[in-house]
C-alpha cells in the first residue's frame, strides 16, 4: 500500500474510531479472562473538555489499552456526574437569559427545564472524549442521576439512617442575604476589606445585673452582633485576665448578663485578649459555644436585618445597625477606641453580597467508623497511592474527619427521602408509600397530603462515592445483603483510579468508605494522582486569562496522538503539568518520524537471494537485543505508573535506535535491493514498535499496522499482544554501544577538523571490541578501511576499555590527552580504595544482602579493568 508523503491525522482518526466502534472492540462482558477495570472520574454532565480532562483520560486510556494488549478483559466505564451546584447554576443562568427567575418556578417546573437542558447540552464531553481516542465501553455509559443510580443513592441514605449514622444537626453555612440561599465554601471569595476595629468596654456585673466600676475591653469588627453575645472568652493561661475567672459581665446597651469563660482558642496577643462569643454569627464562636454549652441567639434574619431578638434597632440592615450602634456605644461611654482595620471578608461569588455566617439545619453522616476503616485500607497497603506522599495528606485528614454534611439547598439532585409529619417529626423511607405507611404507625390519622418531603437534595459526592459499585450493580449500595450481580462480582474491585489530588477527600476517600461498607472490599488497588495542568508560566488554566487552549482545536491542528503524547511527555505523577504547545509539536513530529520510517522501509526492493551484509547482520542482532531489553524497562515503568518514562524509553528506542542507528545501518545503497533476511527482521521490528507505542498513540499505529500487511475485517492492533521480551545479551549491547561511541567520536573529529574521511582517516582500534562490529563502524562512520598501525600524532579516545587512535598530523595535544587520563586514573584509584574499604568491612560482607555485595565486587573488578586500560593508554601515549 502506497503511503501519502505526509501523515494526515484527521483523515485517519475518524476512520479508525468508527471501525473500533463498529466492531465493538471497546465492549467488555465477563468471561474467563482476568478483568482489568477502570471507572472514569465522571466529568460534570454540563462540562466541556479541557486540558485536565485530556491528561486524565489519556492516562486512563493508556492503562486500559495496555491491559487490553496484555490479554486482560479490559473494561473502562464512562459516565457523567449530575454535579448539582454547577448544573443548577447553569440552568439558572440559562433561565435568566430567557427572562425567567428561579424563584418564579415551582420545583417541578424548574426540574423540567433542568432535564431538558441536560438532554440537550449534557454529555457533550463524552462525545469529545472519542476525539481523543478514549476506548471506553460506551454501552455501559452511566449518569449519576439516572433512575437506577438514584435508587442506589436513596437506598444508601435510608441504610445509613437506619444504622443510626445519619442525623440532623445544626451547622454554620455561608448565607447570601441577597440571593437568600446558602452557598458552598467554594463560592465564597475572600477579599481584604477596610473596616473598623471597635474596642468596647464591658462592665463587670455585681451579681445582680448591675454594673460595677470595673470593666474589660473587648474588640470586635461587628458591634451590631453584641446583643447575641453568649459569653466573653479569655485564654486560661492569660495572667492579665486571671481576676475575671468566674465573674460575669454586662452587654452594653441591653445590660444582659453573660459569663466569662476560658478557652485556649483565644489568642493572648491579639486584640485585647478578650473575645466576645457570638455563637449564632461566627463559625469559631459557634464551636466555642458547643464546647461550653452556650445558648445560641440568632438576631439576623434571611435579609441581613436585625430581628426582635436583638431588642434594639429591630429591622435595621446589619450595616446600618453597625453605624448606629457604634454611635450609641460612643454616647453610652462604652467605646474605648476605634481603629482602622483590614480584614478578610467573604463575598458571595454570585451576588457579591457580604456572606453572613448563619446556622441552619442540615443532614450529616457520621464519619468516625467509616474513616477509621478507610484509613486502614490505605495504611495497611490494600490501596496504593501514586505518588506515595499523598498517604500523609490522607492520614492527616482521615484522623481529623468531620462528619459529612450531605444536604444541599438546591433542587437539582437526589431529594432527601425524609418525610415530615405536621408535628415536625419525620420518617425516612425509600419511597413515599413506605413513608406514609411508617408515618401512619406514628399517627394513624396521617394522610398523604399531611406528609412533606425534605426540600434539600443530597451532596453530589453522596452519589459519586457509590460509583465503582453502582455502575455495575445499582441494587447493591445500601443493601449489603443483596447478592452482587454477575458484573459486580466479576469487575469489582476495579484496578486503578486516575484522578486529581484535589478530590482526594471529596471522592477518593469516600469511595473507599463505601467500598468497605457495602462490598467489604476496597474499590480499587492503585490511585494515580495527576497534577494540575497549568500554562507554561505555571499559572492555572482559566477562562479569564485565556491561557487554556481548546483541546479539540489542538486535536484538529496536530492530531489526537500528538496531543496525547504531548500531554504525557511532562506528566510525572503528582507534580503539576506545565503545558506548552511545543510538547504537542513534538508529538506531531514523532508521528511524522514514524510515518516516514515506514515509507522508507515499505519502499525498498527486496532481493531474497542477496547475502546479508555483515554490518546489517550485526545491526539486526543488536536491535533484537535492545528491543528485548527496552521492553523489560518499559514494563517496569508501567508497573510503577511511570508513564512518561515508559513513553520516553519507547520514543528513544523508536527514534534514536531504530530510525537513526538501525535503519541507517541496514539501508541499502541507492538503487540497490535489500536482502530478504534483513528486510524481514526490519518489518518485524517495526511491527513490534507499533504495538509498544499503541497504548499511547492509538490512531497512527492502527493506520500503519493495517497498512503494512493484508489485514482482515475485524483485525486490529488493539488486540495484538504486547511484544514480549526475549533473552538479551547485555554484554553484546554494551559492545555495540562502544562501537557507537567510537563512531560518534570519529564523526566529531571529522566535524571539528573539517576533513574528509578519505583524506585522513584511518582508524586503529586496540582493546577488546568484538571484531565483528568493525563493519558497523566502517559503514556508519563512513570509513573505507581500518589501518592496523599508526604513524605520528593521533587523536586518542578511551571508550570503556578500548583505546581508539585516529592518526592525524598536527591534531592532538599529547599533554592534554595525558592530563585527562591521569585525572581519570586518580579518580578511579580513589574509588577503588573506597570500594575495597567497604568490602574489607567484615560487617558489611556478612550482613548486606548477597546481591549488594556482588555489586560491590563487580565495581571492584570493573575499576581494576578500567585502571589497567588507562595505564595502557598512558603508556602508549609516551
Site for RNA in 667-706 (CB under 7 A): 667, 670-671
Considering only residues 739 to 768 of the shown chain, the ones binding RNA according to CB under 7 A are: 743-744, 747-748, 751-752
Of the residues 6, 112, 162, 711, which one makes contact with RNA according to CB under 7 A: 6
Of the residues 734, 852, 854, 876, which one makes contact with RNA according to CB under 7 A: 852
Considering only residues 172 to 201 of the shown chain, the ones binding RNA according to CB under 7 A are: 185, 190, 197
By the 10 Å C-beta count (0-12 exposed, 13-18 middle, 19+ buried), 264 is classed as exposed
Residue 711 phi, psi (nearest 5): -120, 150
Q: Are 458 and 414 in contact, with CB atoms under 8 Å apart?
A: yes
d(CA 497, CA 511): 11
CB of 861 to RNA, least distance (A): 8
CB of 190 to RNA, least distance (A): 6
By the 10 Å C-beta count (0-12 exposed, 13-18 middle, 19+ buried), 807 is classed as buried
The smaller minimum CB distance to RNA, of residues 25 and 831, is found at 831
Considering only residues 762 to 801 of the shown chain, the ones binding RNA according to CB under 7 A are: none
Rule CB under 7 A: is residue 220 a binding residue for RNA?
yes
Q: Are 690 and 704 in contact, with CB atoms under 8 Å apart?
A: yes
Dihedral angle of Cα 456, 423, 154, 464, to the nearest 10 degrees: 30
Place of cell 578519505: 758
d(CA 818, CA 877): 7
Rule CB under 7 A: is residue 867 a binding residue for RNA?
yes
Is the torsion defined by CA of 56, 59, 64, 67 positive or negative?
A: negative
d(CA 159, CA 466): 13
Residues 619-648: x where in contact with RNA by CB under 7 A, - otherwise, as a string: --------------------------x--x
CB of 219 to RNA, least distance (A): 5
CB of 574 to RNA, least distance (A): 8
Of the residues 848, 872, 874, 877, which one makes contact with RNA according to CB under 7 A: 848
Rule CB under 7 A: is residue 862 a binding residue for RNA?
yes
The smaller minimum CB distance to RNA, of residues 134 and 746, is found at 746
Rule CB under 7 A: is residue 652 a binding residue for RNA?
yes
Q: Are 31 and 73 in contact, with CB atoms under 8 Å apart?
A: yes
Helix (H) or strand (E) holding 870: helix 850-877
Of the residues 307, 586, 716, 720, which one makes contact with RNA according to CB under 7 A: 586
Nearest to 672 by CA among 605, 577, 762: 605
Residues 6+ apart with CB under 8 A from 845: 839, 853
Of the residues 221, 409, 430, 790, which one makes contact with RNA according to CB under 7 A: 221
Of the residues 516, 597, 630, 762, which one makes contact with RNA according to CB under 7 A: 597
Rule CB under 7 A: is residue 823 a binding residue for RNA?
yes
Grid coordinates given for 216: 474589660
Classify strands 794-799 and 802-807 as parallel, antiparallel or unpaired.
antiparallel
Rule CB under 7 A: is residue 393 a binding residue for RNA?
yes
Residues 258-297: x where in contact with RNA by CB under 7 A, - otherwise, as a string: -------xxx--xxxxxxx-----xxx-------------
Q: Which span (26-34, 91-99, 406-414, 859-867) binds RNA, by CB under 7 A?
A: 859-867
Binding residues for RNA, rule CB under 7 A, total 94
Residues 507-536: x where in contact with RNA by CB under 7 A, - otherwise, as a string: -----------------------------x
The smaller minimum CB distance to RNA, of residues 136 and 310, is found at 310
d(CA 554, CA 133): 14
Q: Which span (105-113, 253-261, 650-658, 713-721) binds RNA, by CB under 7 A?
A: 650-658
Considering only residues 335 to 354 of the shown chain, the ones binding RNA according to CB under 7 A are: 343-344
Place of cell 507534580: 575
Q: Are 564 and 587 in contact, with CB atoms under 8 Å apart?
A: yes
Rule CB under 7 A: is residue 582 a binding residue for RNA?
yes
Classify strands 211-220 and 188-205 as parallel, antiparallel or unpaired.
antiparallel
Please give the C-alpha separations between residue 697 and each of 70, 336, 704, in angstroms, as whole numbers: 16, 72, 11
By the 10 Å C-beta count (0-12 exposed, 13-18 middle, 19+ buried), 160 is classed as buried
Of the residues 154, 569, 783, 799, which one makes contact with RNA according to CB under 7 A: 569
CB of 664 to RNA, least distance (A): 6
Amino acid at each position: 500500500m502506497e503511503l501519502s508523503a505526509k501523515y494526515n491525522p484527521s483523515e485517519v482518526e475518524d476512520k479508525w474510531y468508527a471501525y473500533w466502534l463498529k466492531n465493538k472492540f471497546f465492549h467488555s462482558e465477563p468471561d474467563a479472562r482476568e478483568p482489568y477495570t477502570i471507572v472514569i472520574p465522571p466529568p460534570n454532565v454540563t462540562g466541556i473538555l479541557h486540558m485536565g480532562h485530556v491528561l486524565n483520560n489519556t492516562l486512563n486510556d493508556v492503562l486500559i489499552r495496555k491491559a487490553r494488549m496484555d490479554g486482560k478483559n479490559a473494561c473502562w466505564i464512562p459516565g457523567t456526574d449530575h454535579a448539582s451546584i454547577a448544573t443548577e447554576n447553569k440552568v439558572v443562568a440559562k433561565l435568566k437569559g430567557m427572562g425567567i427567575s428561579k424563584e418564579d418556578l415551582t420545583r417541578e417546573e424548574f426540574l423540567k427545564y433542568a432535564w431538558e437542558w441536560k438532554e440537550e447540552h449534557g454529555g457533550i464531553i463524552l462525545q469529545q472524549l472519542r476525539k481523543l481516542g478514549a476506548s471506553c465501553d460506551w454501552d455501559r455509559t452511566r449518569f449519576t442521576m439516572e433512575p437506577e443510580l438514584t435508587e442506589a443513592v436513596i437506598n444508601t441514605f435510608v441504610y445509613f439512617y437506619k444504622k443510626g449514622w445519619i442525623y440532623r444537626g445544626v451547622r454554620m453555612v455561608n448565607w447570601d442575604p441577597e440571593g437568600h440561599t446558602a452557598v458552598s465554601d467554594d463560592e465564597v471569595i475572600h477579599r481584604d476589606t477596610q473596616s473598623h476595629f471597635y474596642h468596647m468596654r464591658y462592665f463587670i456585673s455585681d451579681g445582680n445585673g448591675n454594673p460595677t466600676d470595673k470593666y474589660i475591653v473587648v474588640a470586635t469588627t461587628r458591634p451590631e452582633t453584641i446583643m447575641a453575645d453568649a459569653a466573653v472568652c479569655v485564654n486560661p493561661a492569660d495572667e492579665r485576665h486571671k481576676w475575671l475567672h468566674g465573674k460575669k459581665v454586662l452587654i452594653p446597651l441591653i445590660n444582659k448578663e453573660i459569663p466569662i469563660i476560658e478557652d485556649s482558642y483565644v489568642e493572648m496577643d491579639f486584640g485585647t485578649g478578650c473575645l466576645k462569643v457570638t455563637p449564632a454569627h461566627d463559625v469559631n464562636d459557634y464551636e466555642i459555644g458547643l464546647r461550653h454549652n452556650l445558648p445560641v441567639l440568632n438576631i439576623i434574619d434571611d435579609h441581613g436585618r436585625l430581628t426582635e431578638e436583638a431588642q434594639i434597632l429591630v429591622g435595621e440592615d446589619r450595616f446600618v445597625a453597625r453605624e448606629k450602634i457604634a454611635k450609641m456605644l460612643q454616647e453610652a461611654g462604652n467605646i474605648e477606641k476605634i481603629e482602622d482595620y483590614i480584614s478578610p471578608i467573604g463575598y458571595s461569588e454570585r451576588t457579591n453580597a457580604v456572606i453572613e455566617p448563619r446556622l441552619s439545619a442540615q443532614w450529616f453522616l457520621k464519619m468516625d467508623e467509616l474513616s477509621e476503616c478507610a484509613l486502614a485500607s490505605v495504611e495497611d497497603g490494600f490501596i496504593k497511592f501514586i505518588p506515595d506522599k499523598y498517604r500523609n495528606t490522607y492520614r492527616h485528614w482521615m484522623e481529623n474527619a468531620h462528619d459529612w454534611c450531605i444536604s444541599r439547598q438546591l433542587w437539582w439532585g437526589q431529594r432527601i427521602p425524609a418525610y415530615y409529619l405536621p408535628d415536625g417529626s419525620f420518617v425516612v423511607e425509600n419511597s413515599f408509600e413506605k413513608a406514609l405507611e411508617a408515618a401512619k404507625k406514628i399517627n394513624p390519622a396521617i394522610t398523604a397530603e399531611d406528609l412533606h418531603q425534605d426540600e434539600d437534595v443530597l451532596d453530589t459526592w453522596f452519589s459519586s462515592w457509590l460509583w465503582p459499585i453502582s455502575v455495575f450493580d445499582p441494587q447493591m449500595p445500601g443493601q449489603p445483603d443483596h447478592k452482587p450481580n454477575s458484573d459486580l462480582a466479576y469487575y469489582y474491585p476495579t484496578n486503578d483510579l486516575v484522578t486529581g489530588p484535589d478530590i482526594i477527600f471529596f471522592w477518593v476517600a469516600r469511595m473507599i468508605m463505601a467500598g468497605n461498607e457495602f462490598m467489604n472490599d476496597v474499590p480499587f488497588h492503585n490511585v494515580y494522582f495527576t497534577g494540575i495542568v497549568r500554562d507554561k508560566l505555571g499559572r492555572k488554566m482559566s477562562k479569564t486569562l485565556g491561557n487554556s487552549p481548546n483541546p479539540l482545536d489542538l486535536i484538529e491542528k496536530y492530531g489526537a496522538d500528538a496531543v496525547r503524547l504531548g500531554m504525557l511527555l511532562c506528566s510525572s505523577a503528582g507534580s503539576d503539568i506545565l503545558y506548552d504547545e511545543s510538547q504537542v509539536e513534538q508529538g506531531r513530529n514523532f508521528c511524522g518520524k514514524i510515518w516516514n520510517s515506514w515509507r522508507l522501509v515499505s519502499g525498498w526492493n527486496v532481493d531474497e537471494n542477496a547475502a546479508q551484509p555483515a554490518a546489517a547482520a550485526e545491526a539486526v542482532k543488536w536491535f533484537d537485543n535492545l528491543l528485548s531489553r527496552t521492553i523489560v524497562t518499559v514494563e517496569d515503568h508501567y508497573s510503577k505508573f511511570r508513564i512518561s518514562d515508559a513513553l520516553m524509553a519507547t520514543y528513544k528506542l523508536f527514534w534514536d535506535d531504530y530510525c537513526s542507528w538501525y535503519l541507517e545501518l541496514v539501508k541499502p545503497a541507492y538503487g540497490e535491493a535489500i536482502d530478504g533476511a534483513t528486510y524481514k527482521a526490519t518489518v518485524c521490528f517495526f511491527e513490534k514498535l507499533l504495538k509498544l507505542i499503541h497504548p499511547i498513540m492509538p490512531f497512527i499505529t492502527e493506520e500503519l499496522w493495517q497498512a503494512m500487511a493484508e489485514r482482515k475485517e475485524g483485525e486490529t492492533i488493539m488486540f495484538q499482544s504486547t511484544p514480549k521480551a526475549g533473552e538479551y545479551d547485555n554484554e553484546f549491547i554494551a559492545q555495540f554501544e562502544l562501537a557507537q561511541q567510537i563512531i560518534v567520536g570519529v564523526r566529531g573529529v571529522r566535524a571539528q577538523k573539517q576533513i574528509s574521511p578519505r583524506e585522513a582517516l584511518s582508524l586503529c582500534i586496540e582493546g577488546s571490541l568484538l571484531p565483528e562490529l568493525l563493519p558497523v563502524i566502517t559503514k556508519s562512520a563512513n570509513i573505507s578501511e581500518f589501518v592496523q598501525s599508526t604513524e605520528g600524532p593521533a587523536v586518542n579516545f578511551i571508550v570503556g576499555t578500548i583505546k581508539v587512535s585516529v592518526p592525524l598530523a598536527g591534531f592532538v595535544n599529547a599533554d592534554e590527552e595525558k592530563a585527562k587520563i591521569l585525572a581519570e586514573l586518580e579518580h578511579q584509584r580513589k574509588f577503588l580504595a573506597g570500594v575495597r574499604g567497604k568490602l574489607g568491612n567484615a560487617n558489611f560482607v556478612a550482613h548486606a544482602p548477597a546481591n549488594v555485595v556482588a555489586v560491590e565486587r563487580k565495581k571492584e573488578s570493573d575499576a581494576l579493568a578500567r585502571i589497567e586500560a588507562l595505564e595502557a593508554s598512558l603508556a602508549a601515549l609516551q
